[in-house]
Chains A and B, each alone.
Chain A
Amino acid sequence: MTVSDIAVSLGLKIYGGENGLSREISGGYTSDLLSDVMGHAGAGKVWITLQTHKNIMAIASLKELAAIILVKEYLPEKDMLDQSNIEDIPVLGTSDEAFEISGKLFNLLNRR
Protein backbone atom coordinates (compact mmCIF):
# COMPACT_ATOMS: atom_id res chain seq x y z
CA MET A 1 0.00 0.00 0.00
CA THR A 2 1.28 3.47 -0.89
CA VAL A 3 0.93 6.86 0.78
CA SER A 4 -1.49 7.81 -1.97
CA ASP A 5 -3.66 4.74 -1.23
CA ILE A 6 -4.03 5.62 2.44
CA ALA A 7 -4.64 9.31 1.67
CA VAL A 8 -7.58 8.31 -0.52
CA SER A 9 -8.93 5.58 1.76
CA LEU A 10 -8.75 7.69 4.92
CA GLY A 11 -9.78 10.97 3.27
CA LEU A 12 -6.57 12.76 4.25
CA LYS A 13 -5.65 16.25 3.15
CA ILE A 14 -2.35 16.55 1.29
CA TYR A 15 -0.35 19.61 2.35
CA GLY A 16 2.92 18.92 0.57
CA GLY A 17 5.52 16.42 -0.60
CA GLU A 18 3.28 15.20 -3.45
CA ASN A 19 6.26 13.65 -5.26
CA GLY A 20 6.48 11.12 -2.43
CA LEU A 21 2.89 9.87 -2.69
CA SER A 22 4.06 6.67 -4.37
CA ARG A 23 6.19 5.68 -1.34
CA GLU A 24 5.40 2.21 0.02
CA ILE A 25 4.15 2.01 3.61
CA SER A 26 5.46 -0.54 6.11
CA GLY A 27 3.27 0.51 9.07
CA GLY A 28 2.61 3.42 11.38
CA TYR A 29 4.08 5.06 14.46
CA THR A 30 2.18 7.44 16.73
CA SER A 31 4.18 9.77 18.98
CA ASP A 32 4.81 13.44 19.72
CA LEU A 33 8.23 12.79 21.25
CA LEU A 34 10.99 13.21 18.69
CA SER A 35 13.60 10.97 20.31
CA ASP A 36 10.98 8.26 20.69
CA VAL A 37 10.43 8.31 16.93
CA MET A 38 14.17 8.60 16.32
CA GLY A 39 14.80 5.52 18.45
CA HIS A 40 11.87 3.32 17.45
CA ALA A 41 10.15 4.18 14.16
CA GLY A 42 11.36 2.05 11.26
CA ALA A 43 11.78 2.91 7.59
CA GLY A 44 8.57 3.23 5.59
CA LYS A 45 6.41 4.05 8.62
CA VAL A 46 3.73 6.73 8.61
CA TRP A 47 4.30 9.08 11.56
CA ILE A 48 1.12 10.31 13.27
CA THR A 49 1.73 13.46 15.36
CA LEU A 50 0.61 16.95 16.29
CA GLN A 51 4.12 18.41 15.91
CA THR A 52 4.23 20.88 13.01
CA HIS A 53 7.83 22.15 12.79
CA LYS A 54 10.76 21.54 10.47
CA ASN A 55 12.59 19.09 12.75
CA ILE A 56 9.81 16.58 12.05
CA MET A 57 10.97 16.47 8.43
CA ALA A 58 14.63 16.11 9.45
CA ILE A 59 13.73 13.03 11.47
CA ALA A 60 11.39 11.69 8.77
CA SER A 61 14.18 12.01 6.23
CA LEU A 62 16.91 10.47 8.40
CA LYS A 63 14.63 7.56 9.36
CA GLU A 64 13.28 7.20 5.81
CA LEU A 65 9.67 7.43 6.95
CA ALA A 66 6.99 7.29 4.24
CA ALA A 67 4.77 10.21 5.34
CA ILE A 68 3.54 12.35 8.23
CA ILE A 69 -0.09 12.63 9.29
CA LEU A 70 -0.91 15.74 11.31
CA VAL A 71 -3.90 15.20 13.60
CA LYS A 72 -6.76 17.47 14.74
CA GLU A 73 -6.36 19.85 11.79
CA TYR A 74 -2.94 21.01 12.91
CA LEU A 75 -1.27 22.80 9.99
CA PRO A 76 2.41 22.41 9.04
CA GLU A 77 4.59 25.48 9.59
CA LYS A 78 5.96 26.95 6.37
CA ASP A 79 9.48 25.61 6.80
CA MET A 80 8.10 22.15 7.56
CA LEU A 81 6.14 22.29 4.33
CA ASP A 82 9.15 23.54 2.34
CA GLN A 83 11.22 20.67 3.71
CA SER A 84 8.46 18.20 2.90
CA ASN A 85 8.67 19.28 -0.75
CA ILE A 86 12.48 19.14 -0.75
CA GLU A 87 12.55 15.65 0.76
CA ASP A 88 9.50 14.39 -1.17
CA ILE A 89 7.99 13.10 2.06
CA PRO A 90 4.26 13.88 2.08
CA VAL A 91 2.65 15.79 4.94
CA LEU A 92 -0.98 14.74 5.26
CA GLY A 93 -3.73 15.97 7.55
CA THR A 94 -6.89 14.84 9.29
CA SER A 95 -9.47 16.27 11.69
CA ASP A 96 -9.26 13.01 13.69
CA GLU A 97 -7.43 12.69 17.00
CA ALA A 98 -4.30 10.53 17.10
CA PHE A 99 -6.19 7.58 18.62
CA GLU A 100 -8.82 7.56 15.91
CA ILE A 101 -6.56 7.94 12.90
CA SER A 102 -4.09 5.41 14.30
CA GLY A 103 -6.93 2.90 14.63
CA LYS A 104 -8.15 3.57 11.11
CA LEU A 105 -4.66 3.23 9.64
CA PHE A 106 -4.04 0.07 11.63
CA ASN A 107 -7.24 -1.50 10.33
CA LEU A 108 -6.50 -0.44 6.78
CA LEU A 109 -2.99 -1.91 6.84
CA ASN A 110 -4.09 -5.13 8.54
CA ARG A 111 -7.20 -5.74 6.47
CA ARG A 112 -7.35 -8.99 4.58
Chain B
Amino acid sequence: MSTGKMHFEYQVEGGNFSAAGFPSSQVKKTLKQLNVDGNVIRRTVVALYEAEVNIVAHAYNGIISVDIDTEKITILLKDEGPGIADIKKAMEIGYSTATPEVREMGFGAGMGLSNMKTNADHLNITSEVGKGTIVEIINYFHQ
Protein backbone atom coordinates (compact mmCIF):
# COMPACT_ATOMS: atom_id res chain seq x y z
CA MET B 1 0.00 0.00 0.00
CA SER B 2 1.23 3.50 -0.78
CA THR B 3 2.26 5.65 2.14
CA GLY B 4 0.89 8.94 0.85
CA LYS B 5 -2.17 10.72 2.11
CA MET B 6 -5.07 11.33 -0.21
CA HIS B 7 -7.85 13.86 -0.13
CA PHE B 8 -10.99 14.09 -2.28
CA GLU B 9 -14.04 16.35 -2.26
CA TYR B 10 -17.45 15.96 -3.85
CA GLN B 11 -20.43 18.28 -4.10
CA VAL B 12 -23.89 16.84 -3.46
CA GLU B 13 -27.04 18.45 -4.77
CA GLY B 14 -30.30 17.89 -2.88
CA GLY B 15 -32.95 16.16 -5.00
CA ASN B 16 -30.49 15.04 -7.69
CA PHE B 17 -30.86 11.27 -7.43
CA SER B 18 -29.39 10.53 -10.84
CA ALA B 19 -25.93 11.67 -9.69
CA ALA B 20 -26.09 9.70 -6.44
CA GLY B 21 -23.46 7.02 -5.99
CA PHE B 22 -20.60 8.72 -7.83
CA PRO B 23 -18.51 9.50 -4.71
CA SER B 24 -19.01 5.93 -3.44
CA SER B 25 -17.89 4.37 -6.70
CA GLN B 26 -14.83 6.67 -6.83
CA VAL B 27 -13.91 5.77 -3.25
CA LYS B 28 -14.39 2.11 -4.06
CA LYS B 29 -12.00 2.35 -7.03
CA THR B 30 -9.39 4.19 -4.98
CA LEU B 31 -9.52 1.71 -2.08
CA LYS B 32 -9.24 -1.20 -4.54
CA GLN B 33 -6.14 0.39 -6.07
CA LEU B 34 -4.69 0.68 -2.57
CA ASN B 35 -5.36 -3.04 -2.02
CA VAL B 36 -7.56 -2.40 0.98
CA ASP B 37 -9.35 -5.50 2.32
CA GLY B 38 -12.54 -6.26 0.35
CA ASN B 39 -14.71 -6.38 3.44
CA VAL B 40 -13.52 -2.92 4.53
CA ILE B 41 -14.26 -1.58 1.04
CA ARG B 42 -17.77 -3.06 1.07
CA ARG B 43 -18.54 -1.61 4.50
CA THR B 44 -17.17 1.80 3.56
CA VAL B 45 -19.16 2.17 0.36
CA VAL B 46 -22.41 1.12 2.05
CA ALA B 47 -21.94 3.70 4.81
CA LEU B 48 -20.90 6.42 2.36
CA TYR B 49 -23.70 5.73 -0.12
CA GLU B 50 -26.36 5.87 2.61
CA ALA B 51 -24.95 9.12 3.98
CA GLU B 52 -24.77 10.65 0.53
CA VAL B 53 -28.33 9.62 -0.38
CA ASN B 54 -29.53 11.14 2.90
CA ILE B 55 -28.21 14.51 1.71
CA VAL B 56 -29.89 14.02 -1.68
CA ALA B 57 -33.19 12.90 -0.11
CA HIS B 58 -33.39 15.11 2.96
CA ALA B 59 -31.12 18.17 2.58
CA TYR B 60 -30.52 21.01 0.11
CA ASN B 61 -26.85 20.58 -0.69
CA GLY B 62 -23.69 19.23 0.84
CA ILE B 63 -19.99 18.56 0.60
CA ILE B 64 -18.31 15.23 1.10
CA SER B 65 -14.65 15.22 2.01
CA VAL B 66 -12.67 12.01 2.04
CA ASP B 67 -9.26 11.56 3.64
CA ILE B 68 -7.26 8.39 3.26
CA ASP B 69 -4.04 7.62 5.09
CA THR B 70 -2.19 4.36 5.62
CA GLU B 71 -4.46 3.11 8.37
CA LYS B 72 -7.94 4.51 7.80
CA ILE B 73 -10.46 6.35 5.69
CA THR B 74 -12.19 9.37 7.21
CA ILE B 75 -15.31 10.69 5.50
CA LEU B 76 -16.98 13.95 6.48
CA LEU B 77 -20.39 14.83 5.03
CA LYS B 78 -21.62 18.35 5.77
CA ASP B 79 -24.98 19.51 4.49
CA GLU B 80 -27.20 22.55 4.53
CA GLY B 81 -30.69 21.31 5.23
CA PRO B 82 -33.47 20.90 7.76
CA GLY B 83 -31.24 19.05 10.24
CA ILE B 84 -32.38 16.19 12.47
CA ALA B 85 -34.30 17.09 15.63
CA ASP B 86 -34.02 13.72 17.35
CA ILE B 87 -31.02 11.74 16.13
CA LYS B 88 -31.77 8.77 18.39
CA LYS B 89 -35.22 8.45 16.90
CA ALA B 90 -33.90 8.92 13.35
CA MET B 91 -31.54 5.97 13.93
CA GLU B 92 -34.49 3.62 14.55
CA ILE B 93 -35.20 1.24 11.69
CA GLY B 94 -38.42 2.32 9.96
CA TYR B 95 -38.33 5.98 11.00
CA SER B 96 -38.40 8.15 7.88
CA THR B 97 -39.60 11.58 6.81
CA ALA B 98 -39.02 10.82 3.11
CA THR B 99 -41.58 12.31 0.73
CA PRO B 100 -44.01 10.09 -1.23
CA GLU B 101 -41.97 10.68 -4.42
CA VAL B 102 -38.78 9.55 -2.73
CA ARG B 103 -40.55 6.49 -1.28
CA GLU B 104 -41.85 5.57 -4.70
CA MET B 105 -38.24 5.18 -5.82
CA GLY B 106 -37.69 2.66 -3.03
CA PHE B 107 -35.90 5.02 -0.66
CA GLY B 108 -37.44 5.94 2.68
CA ALA B 109 -37.43 2.55 4.41
CA GLY B 110 -35.78 4.23 7.37
CA MET B 111 -32.85 1.80 7.22
CA GLY B 112 -30.05 4.04 5.96
CA LEU B 113 -28.74 5.28 9.31
CA SER B 114 -28.87 1.75 10.67
CA ASN B 115 -26.82 0.55 7.67
CA MET B 116 -24.34 3.34 8.36
CA LYS B 117 -23.98 2.29 11.98
CA THR B 118 -23.45 -1.35 11.04
CA ASN B 119 -20.88 -0.55 8.37
CA ALA B 120 -18.80 2.14 10.08
CA ASP B 121 -16.14 1.54 12.74
CA HIS B 122 -16.87 5.01 13.99
CA LEU B 123 -20.02 7.03 13.20
CA ASN B 124 -20.63 10.48 14.61
CA ILE B 125 -23.67 12.58 13.71
CA THR B 126 -24.27 16.14 14.82
CA SER B 127 -27.12 18.28 13.62
CA GLU B 128 -28.69 21.66 14.05
CA VAL B 129 -32.36 22.03 13.18
CA GLY B 130 -32.86 24.57 10.41
CA LYS B 131 -29.16 24.58 9.54
CA GLY B 132 -27.80 21.21 8.62
CA THR B 133 -26.17 17.95 9.55
CA ILE B 134 -22.59 16.72 9.85
CA VAL B 135 -21.83 13.02 9.54
CA GLU B 136 -18.40 11.56 10.22
CA ILE B 137 -17.53 8.02 9.21
CA ILE B 138 -14.19 6.38 9.98
CA ASN B 139 -13.20 2.89 8.86
CA TYR B 140 -9.87 1.25 9.70
CA PHE B 141 -8.04 -0.86 7.13
CA HIS B 142 -6.67 -3.36 9.64
CA GLN B 143 -9.34 -4.71 11.95
A-to-B contact residues, CB < 8 Å: 32-36, 38-39, 43, 49, 51, 53-56, 58-59, 61-64, 79
B127 part of interface (Cβ distance < 8 Å)? no
Task: State whether A35 and B50 are in contact (beta carbons under 8 Å apart), knowing that A55-B20, A55-B21 are contacts in the complex.
Answer: yes
Q: Cβ of A54: which chain B residues have Cβ within 8 Å of it? A: 17-18
Interface bin, chain B:
20 to 34
B101 to chain A, nearest CB (A): 12
A26 to chain B, nearest CB (A): 14
Contact B118 A39 (CB under 8 A): yes
B39 to chain A, nearest CB (A): 11
Q: What is the CA–CA distance of A45 and B106 in the complex, to the nearest angstrom?
A: 19
B-to-A contact residues, CB < 8 Å: 17-18, 20-21, 24-25, 28, 42, 45-46, 49-50, 53, 105-107, 109-112, 114-115, 118
Q: Cβ of B24: which chain A residues have Cβ within 8 Å of it? A: 58, 62
Determine which of A35, A43, A59, A62 lies in contact with B109 in the assembled complex, contact meaning CB atoms within 8 Å. A35
Q: Cβ of A34: which chain B residues have Cβ within 8 Å of it? A: 53, 105-107, 109
Q: Cβ of A49: which chain B residues have Cβ within 8 Å of it? A: 106
Q: Cβ of A62: which chain B residues have Cβ within 8 Å of it? A: 21, 24-25, 28, 45-46, 49
